[in-house]
Chains A and B, each alone.
Chain A
Amino acid sequence: GQQVMQIPQYQHVQEGEDFTTYCNSSTTLSNIQWYKQRPGGHPVFLIQLVKSGEVKKQKRLTFQFGEAKKNSSLHITATQTTDVGTYFCAGGSGYSTLTFGKGTMLLVSP
């Protein structure tokens, strides 16, 4: 079945540093979604990418979907303590439901 892998599993940065998490799928995706889960919270939708090579920005967050629609990345510029949480990618393929990656936990020290 479809597998979605994320790296790194964990990253600890100083406030102001940049952060990137990468997502790779074993199959070509029809779309990819990104979610953020704060400690003790539930996943909250951030964005969806559908087109090959698509790039979307939300303030300090930049999301990319690879040309082959098998990988994606989330980049945060100048992290803040409010960025703390676990970032999940979730891929959709054909008529399947979303497959979530294991997530990247981000810690930001002030």
Chain B
Amino acid sequence: GAGVSQSPRYKVAKRGQDVALRCDPISGHVSLFWYQQALGQGPEFLTYFQNEAQLDKSGLPSDRFFAERPEGSVSTLKIQRTQQEDSAVYLCASSSSGTPHVGHTQYFGPGTRLTVL
């Protein structure tokens, strides 16, 4: 594909609602990352997939956050019982590398801005 796409671009949720954020990575990219970016901050790592395997979920802030990539392409980040502190931009990035770090560019999507009222 042309790039990483994310949907929806904007989401407003009432506190306590569940939300699902979608990421379509660049076609063929093995690695997929989710980040949370609060206003004025850098992206903070949430979780990492290599194909369909979730290899690192150490950054997920609570058990209300869940991510999946069942077929190794599209990924969904789900937040249950949203809280106001969940308000942030959620960025997805993909990489052609099968390893999460050295040597490989991460291509970011436009992000989903989540506002929890």
Contact = CB atoms under 8 A, between A and B. Distances in A.
Interface residues of A, number: 24
A31 B101 contact: yes
A108 interface: no
Contact of A98 (B41, B45, B111): B45
A48 B91 contact: no
B103 A31 contact: yes
B78 to A, nearest CB: 20
Nearest first, the 5 A-B pairs at minimum CB distance are: A100-B42, A92-B101, A42-B108, A45-B105, A97-B100
A42 B110 contact: yes
Interface in A19-52: 30-31, 33, 35, 41-45, 48, 50
Nearest to A99: B45
Interface in B26-71: 33, 35, 40-45, 48, 56
Contact of B91 (A43, A90, A102, A103): A43
A6 B33 CA distance: 22
Given A97-B33, A97-B48, A88 B108 contact: no
B42 A101 contact: yes
Q: Could you say which interface size class chain B belongs to?
A: 20 to 34
B24 to A, nearest CB: 14
Interface in B90-117: 91, 93, 99-103, 105-111
B102 A92 contact: yes
Given A50-B102, A103-B42, 6 more contacts: A33-B106, A41-B110, A43-B93, A90-B42, A90-B43, A92-B101
Contact of A88 (B42, B100, B102, B103): B42
A103 B106 CA distance: 17
Given A95-B100, A97-B33, A97-B48, A102 B105 contact: no
A23 to B, nearest CB: 11
Contacts of A100: 35, 42-45
A92 B111 CA distance: 22
A82 interface: no
A97 B103 CA distance: 12
